Copies of this chain bind each other. A is one copy, B any other.
Amino acid sequence: MPNMKFQPLPGFRDFAPQEYAFRAYLFNTWRRVAHRYGFVEWEAPTVEATELYLKKSGGELPTQLFRFKDQGERDITLRPELTASLGRIAASYQMDYAKPLKWFEIGSCFRYEKPQKGRLREFVQFNADILGDAGEGSDAELIALAIDCMREFGFTADDFVVRISDRDVWIAYAMEHGVAEDKVADFLSVIDKFERDRPEVSQQKLDAFGMKREDLEAFIKNPPAGCSPRYDAVYAELQARGLADYVKLDLYVVRGLAYYTGLVFEIFDKGHSLRAVAGGGRYNGLVSTLSDGAVDMPATGFAMGDAVIAHLIEACPAARALRDAALKPDVCDVCMVLAAPEMRMQMLSLASTLRDAGLRVDLPLAPAKMNNQLKRADKIGATYALIVGSEFPEVELKTMATRQSVRTDLEGLMTELLPDAD
C-alpha cells in the first residue's frame, strides 16, 4: 500500500469491494432470515436531537457520544443505537400497521470508544423488535429469529449459547432479602457486573445489602424451579420450534440499561472469548416514555453487531466456509473481448442487447491486447468470455472454467446464454 497520508479516522473502516462483499454477506443473511420471520425493514435518520437519547435513558447519557452543535445551534448526536429512534418512529406511525409490529433495521451506529477487537467507532447493528404484544410468544419469536440468524451463518449449538435471564427474578430476590425499593436498581447493577468484578469487589458492593456473594453464586448456579414462569413459557415455545438446545436460563445476565423490563438475553460464543454478539430484551415502558404517554406499546427487541460476528465467523470452520463461498468474485456473466478493433460498435451493440436481457456484462473500455482482456475476464470471475472479431456476427463464446469455446451466430448465442427466454 502506498504511504497514504489520508487514512480513515481511528475506529472507522473503509470498505473497498472485497471488504464490502463481506458486509453484503452479513446484510443479506440478516435480511433473508428476518424476512423468513415476517419482519419488515425500517430506517432511522443517522442524526437525532440529543434530547431523544436523554429522554430514553432517563437523563443519564452515555459518555461516548458523537455529540455536537449544528450550524443552527441544535444539540445533535450521531445515533449510538437504534432503540430511541425506533420508539419515536413506531409511536408516530404505528396506526398504519397491523399489530404487533415486527420491524428490523440494519444501519451504522457511532460511539466514541477506544477502538479494539470487536469494538469500533462506526459499526453496524442489525436490530429486530416486536412492538404491541406483551406476551412470551413475542419473546420466543424474537429469540428464535436471533438463533436462526446464527444458524444461517453456519453456527451450531456447539458454537454459541443464548443466555436468557429475567430481571423480575432479581427484583423478587431483592424484595425477599429486604432491599429497599429505591435501591433495587443499584442492586441490579451489582448483579450486572457480578461476572466481571473480582470476587472481593463484588462482596464489597454486596455488603451494602447485607448479602454474601456465595449465596448469590449458589442461587445463580441452581435457580429454584419455576422462579421465572416467563422463561419457562419461552423455553416451551423454543422447544416446540426445535431450538431448545441453543438456550439456557442464566441469571448472570441483567443488561446494564435501565429501560429493560422482565426478560433479557445475550448471545455469546461458547468459549465466551469475546463480547456478546447480540443482546436484547423487553422494554415495555419505552415507547410511552418517548411519546410522552401518547402511545403505550409493550416491546421486545435485540441488536446484533457486525464486528463481533466477523471474529466468530473467522474462528468457526463451518461459518468460514459459508462466508468464503459467498465472497467468491461473481461480478459478471459475460466479459466481452474485442479481437478486431474495427468491430467495436458491433461489440457495444451486442453488449447492450445482453444487458437489456438482464445479464451482467463487462466490456473493454479502451483498446487492449486479447490476452489482457482474457486476464480481466478471469480476474473479475466472469462465467463466459464473448469474443467479437472480424467474423462478426459469428462470435466465440468461451466458458472460463473449462476454457472450452463454441463458435455461434447471434441467435445461437442468445439460446446458449438465455435458455429460459422465449
Contact = CB atoms under 8 A, between A and B. Distances in A.
Interface string A45-88: 11111011001000000001010111110101010000001001
Nearest to A239: B345
A370 interface: no
A240 interface: yes
Nearest to A99: B376
Given A2-B92, A68-B68, A376-B98, A364 B9 contact: no
Query: How many copies of this chain?
Result: 2
A122 interface: yes
A361 B276 CA distance: 28
A20 B6 contact: no
A55 B69 CA distance: 24
A141 interface: yes
A13 to B, nearest CB: 6
B355 A148 contact: yes
Interface residues of A, number: 110
Interface string A342-360: 0011101101100100111
Interface in A295-309: 295
A154 interface: no
9 contacts: A5-B292, A9-B49, A14-B85, A24-B41, A37-B360, A38-B335, A47-B122, A144-B352, A240-B348
Given A2-B291, A140-B348, 20 more contacts: A2-B92, A2-B294, A3-B294, A6-B55, A9-B47, A20-B42, A35-B331, A36-B359, A36-B360, A38-B360, A38-B362, A38-B363, A46-B46, A46-B108, A47-B66, A47-B122, A133-B365, A133-B366, A240-B352, A241-B349
